[in-house]
Amino acid sequence: MNSFNAYTPQKQSTIAAFQSRRAAKKKILLVDNDLASVKDLETFLLNEGFEVTLCNDGIKALKEANRQQYQLILLDIILPNLDGFELLKKLRQRNKIPVMILTSRDELFDKIYGLEIGADDYLIKPVNQRELLARMNVVFRRVQMTNSQPIDEIANINDISLCLSTREVYCHGKALNLTGYEFEVLHYLILHAGNIVSKDSISEYIHGRAIPYNDRSIDMHISNIRKKISTFVTEKKIKTIRGAGYIFLKEAV
């Protein structure tokens, strides 16, 4: 028998593994007002093995994000019909898909606002493609790490309940609508409840690297978590230790 055509169990296993790898391509939704300007980025992502869908309209992009299962959205802010910020706010009402803002708007307020309403990262154009890929992989690892946790793992400390399987958080029985980034920050704080955790250690857990100098994104996320908790209770859950970091308190103060 011709060895090339012989489908031995070993060959069948190899073929199945190859097909599985092909089927497991991560799907990226790339949303930008000027599609011509992101053609090089689209080519780069395709060459890196991603499936890429392009969209240049805010309303159409929102419908597409809720219709199809994507692993990541790369989102510009300047869009017709529905800008990126409004799109992200509407998306977060029902969808926890990771979103990285990729825009030419470099105002600090825009970055703070984007992170507060649910962006997982905020990058300024033009961005180095390799840096973008590295940041994308950090997001993918964070999602994979969370999904690999035991599905019945639930934390309940100081009247805050956090469930890894559903990524839901409750304060005194009331649901907290946290972004994906906020969930990871709170999860890390709860894992180390009663102990000081530094901003660097939080960044290492979430991004795989120490926090860059003068980067206040973690401070902003913790501030946002506190605001959401304060809508239900007045007692303190997270304490700031000046110059050292934060403590998630085991008991109400």
pLDDT in tens, 61-111: 999 998 888 999 999 999 999 999 999 999 988 788 899 999 999 888 898
**160, 135: one domain:** no
197: domain CATH number is 1.10.10.10
The tens digit of pLDDT for each residue in 114-172 reads 888 888 889 999 999 999 999 898 888 877 765 555 444 667 888 898 887 778 899 88
Does one domain contain both 141 and 169?
Answer: no
Domain boundary at 100, 121, 147, which? 147
Residue 253 lies in a domain: no
CA 181/CA 115 separation, integer angstroms: 8
Residue 1 lies in a domain: no
**One domain for residues 136 and 159:** no
CB 176 within 8 A of CB 167: no
Q: Do 54 and 124 fall within a single domain?
A: yes
3 domain residue, yes or no = no
Q: Is 8's pLDDT higher than 60?
A: no
Q: Which amino acid is at 37?
A: S
Share of the chain above pLDDT 90, in %: 41
Per the structure, how many domains does the chain have? Answer: 2
Positive or negative, the Cα torsion across 193, 232, 179, 85? Answer: negative
Dihedral sign for Cα atoms in the order 212, 137, 139, 144 = negative
Residue 69 sits in which domain range? 9-147
pTM: 0.60
